[in-house]
Amino acid sequence: MRGLNRVTLIGNLGNVPEFQALEGGVSVAKFSLATTETFKDKNGQNHSDTEWHTVVLWRSLADLAHQYLKKGSSVYVEGKLKTRNYDVKDGSKRYVTEIIADQIIILDKRTNADE
């Protein structure tokens, strides 16, 4: 291994995972994950800051997400950053950064995959 590209998140899903079964039996899922940070400002006031992440899961992780995660679920996600580009009509390019998951831990009791 020569480089390291790792992301770890704990947060809540902003939507039901979008799930697709691709040709060849491969499945993909995608969801938005909110991570919230709380902090006190210099005046001692509590604030919170929410950051939204796009999480992409493949194969068995996609199936797991599809089966057990719902809007609001709490989850630990581990993966890597990947920036994709796509073309837009006007001929320019757009970039989007996603987290390709390689591990998840479902943190809600009720929706837990081991039940």
Q: Which of 20, 22, 52, 96 binds DNA (CB under 7 A)?
A: 52
Q: How many CB atoms lie within 10 A of CB 115?
A: 8
- 110 phi/psi in degrees, rounded to 5: -70, -25
Supply the minimum distance, in Å, between the C-beta of residue 25 and DNA: 28
Cβ(101)–Cβ(78) below 8 Å: yes
β-strand pairing of 18-21 with 46-58: unpaired
Supply the minimum distance, in Å, between the C-beta of residue 108 and DNA: 9
80 binds, among DNA, a second copy, none (CB under 5 to 8 A by kind): a second copy
Supply the minimum distance, in Å, between the C-beta of residue 36 and DNA: 4
